[in-house]
Amino acid sequence: MAKSLRVPKLDLSAILASQNPQIDLRLEAYEVSTRNFLKAVSSYTQRALTEITNRKNGHLTDRKRLVEKLQHIEAETNQCKIREIELIKILDREREERKEAEASVSSFRRQLASIKEKCVVLDGEVEQHRIIAANLRRERSRERALLDSHAAQVAPELADCERWLQCHIEGIDKDKILIRFLRLDAADSTREFSLVVDVSNRSYKVPTTTPFLPTLPILLDELNETRDIYTFFKQVRQSFVEVVQQGR
């Protein structure tokens, strides 16, 4: 730092009393002081300008950083808004799907309740059918036992009938009896003489005979009037014998 210049006090009366009065203005010191002052001012100005420039650059840098940060924040904000919109859409869709799912669940629950009610009804019907089936099986067992008992009683009579009438009797289809007469044609022991009697109704019917019997309608009418099946078999056998004797 430049030293300050102290100017001595002037003795104006002594100066004026001299033959050649002069005042030493000390111009060199003044110039040195002025130069030092200007140099100090210049240095201060330069430092000030440098400081201003530095502060300006720092301000610009901070401003640029803040602008970039603001842009980054705005970009993130926009992304968040877009994501928010997408999430709202997803939530709306999930809300609709949930409503549909709840509606479907309610519908399935109603259907399940209805099915359970039907199952209860069907279980009751099945149980009733089981009881009916069990009763029918017991009834069938009783009927079969009764039929077996009747068959055991009728079997000897059937055997006697077949032996006396020289025929073979068997059931065919439903409610039909096939009667085969044996050894009617001495010339041809393999010749068939048979008829089928339909006993499904109270009025007996004869669908087929082998060979054809012209007197069958009359014999069948007598059978339906008398209900005597044994006499009918005898008459049919005699009619077949007459057919053989007539050479038919």
| Domain locations in the chain as residue ranges | 166-247
* Residue pLDDT, tens place only, 86-138: 889 898 888 888 888 888 888 888 888 888 888 888 888 888 888 888 888 88
162 class by beta-carbon count within 10 Å (0-12 exposed, 13-18 middle, 19+ buried):
middle
Quick one: 220 exposed, middle or buried, by C-beta within 10 A (0-12, 13-18, 19+)? buried
Q: What angle do CA 178, 179, 182 make, to 5 degrees?
A: 140
What does the pLDDT read at residue 164?
57
DSSP 205: B
Q: What is the mean pLDDT of residues 157-177?
A: 69
DSSP per position, 214-233: TTHHHHHHHHHHH--HHHHH
Round to whole Å and give the CA distance between 168 and 192: 12
| Ordered DSSP codes for 181-192 | E-S--TT-TT--
Beta-sheet strands, E only, within 157-202: 167-172, 176-181, 193-198
pLDDT digits (tens, 9 = 90+) for 183-197: 777 777 778 888 898
Model pLDDT for residues 155-164, shown as the tens digit of each residue: 555 555 555 5
Please state the φ and ψ torsions of residue 44, each to the nearest 5 degrees.
-65, -45
Reply yes or no on whether the pLDDT at 178 is more than 80: yes
* Residue 102 or 143, more confident: 102
Q: Rounded to two decimals, what is the model's pTM?
A: 0.37
Least confident interval from 36-40, 108-112, 150-154, 190-194: 150-154
Q: Does 3.30.457.50 match the CATH number of domain 166-247?
A: yes
Q: Give how far Cα 210 sits from Cα of 90, 127, 196, Å.
A: 90, 52, 9
Instruction: Please determine, for residue 182, whether its predicted confidence score (pLDDT) is greater than 80.
Output: no
- Which of 161, 159, 184, 142 is CA-nearest to residue 230? 161
Residue type, 185: D
Token code pair at residue 83 = 């994501």
What's the confidence (pLDDT) of residue 247?
A: 73
Mean pLDDT of the 28-36 span? 82
The larger pLDDT score, comparing residue 25 to residue 138, is at 138
Q: Which two tokens stand for residue 66?
A: 């803040």
Q: What is the mean pLDDT of the chain?
A: 81
16 pLDDT more than 80: no
Pick the closest to residue 237 from 169, 148, 158 (CA basis).
169
Burial class (CB in 10 A: 0-12, 13-18, 19+), 223: buried
Does residue 69 register a pLDDT over 70?
Answer: yes
Backbone φ, ψ for residue 93 (5° rounding) = -65, -45
Average pLDDT over residues 220-227: 89
